[in-house]
Structure 1
């Protein structure tokens, strides 16, 4: 992970879930993560409907130019990336797997900014399930909020092994550097079907994707 805010939310989620795959929604205490609330969101996955924002932080809404509540999560992404994001959401909801997306946002006037999005599952079934996440600008340009982001393009998708991240947290503080090696990464071009479903090690160009990463 590249931003300390991402690592902080992951550490908090890890702490309250203890040995369970994911914490309950009611266990999330806004006061414990108040410094990060402007960048935090909650997604819900209604039965027979698309994944949408249930809540979204003020800074996130400002960056996208309006209230995101009830907005479909896939609508934020470039059309060619929506299948990959959809499969990722299904993995997070059903398998209680944590994930990070590195992406680039394009503004209405064509400006670009880099973001890091964290997806953390909450307890519950796939139908009506929820997750908590954060979306943070890695290079918060002066124009963010004035020139709204209209499209996001995926740069890489990473699945997190929370058990390894938890072990690292005992050794040193949960910073972006400490948490980075808890990831397994797939970069463009996406081979989403194999990445999300195959049970054995896979080679994707110069990368090897290993099993693990389920909370």
Structure 2
């Protein structure tokens, strides 16, 4: 995770889950994350191809130039990337994994920027992970954000975070040489592993 927003949200999510694979939806208090609330969202898992945006922060809506509530999150992506994001959603909602996606966006005015997407599992019913808490973060917000809506976006890299792992930024320097750290993967080198797309290459 490179963006401060992503790290802050993950740290909060990790605290409130209290050793469980994921916290409950009711554990999330918006006032606890007020500084980054405008960059956060919640998805309802309604099926492998249906991730309904139930809440979207104001900075996310400004980036896309519209109110996002009720949209299918997967509709934001190209057909190829849509399948990859659906696979990530399955890992988050079935295996309580976290996911970090670096992606580029382009606007109608031919501007572009790189953003970081974080996806973390939540339990709404108490029996399954049927909500996803996430954030969309950019380093610096250029002048055109809010004036030129995003018209396309492309995945650059993916990382998975399994329930018993600590993200790279939370590990002590002496721990980082150990195996099992979160590894970013280049999209060019793919293979299948169970229901996941495993992407080879890259460094933390």
TM-score bucket of the superposed structures, by smaller chain = 0.7 to 0.9
8 A Cα contact 2:74 2:82, kept in partner: yes
Q: CA deviation at 1:184?
A: 1.9
Residue 150 in structure 1 maps to residue 135 in structure 2: no
Q: Which runs of structure 2 are paired with 1:32-47 in the superposition (5 Å)?
A: 32-47=32-47
5+ residue gaps, structure 1, are 173-180, 209-215
8 A Cα contact 1:38 1:60, kept in partner: yes
Which structure: greater helix fraction?
1
TM-score using structure 1 length: 0.81
CA separation of 1:192 and 1:85: change in aligned 2, threshold 3 A: farther
Which residue is equivalent to 2:185?
Answer: 186
1:96-149 deviation line (CA, Å, top 9, x unaligned): 0001000001111221111000000012556x8101000011342111111011
1:180-203 deviation line (CA, Å, top 9, x unaligned): x942222112526338548xxx88
* Separation (CA, whole Å) in 1 of partners of 2:160 and 2:45: 20
Residue 80 in structure 1 maps to residue 80 in structure 2: yes
Q: CA deviation at 1:158?
A: 0.3
5+ residue gaps, structure 2, are 174-179
Which residue is equivalent to 1:117?
Answer: 117
TM-score using structure 2 length: 0.85
Q: Which has the higher contact order (CA 8 A, sep 6+)?
A: 1
8 A Cα contact 2:64 2:149, kept in partner: yes
Which residue is equivalent to 2:96?
Answer: 96
CA separation of 1:113 and 1:125: change in aligned 2, threshold 3 A: farther
CA separation of 1:151 and 1:18: change in aligned 2, threshold 3 A: same
8 A Cα contact 1:162 1:182, kept in partner: no
Q: CA deviation at 1:161?
A: 4.0
Q: CA deviation at 1:35?
A: 0.5
Which residue is equivalent to 2:27?
Answer: 27
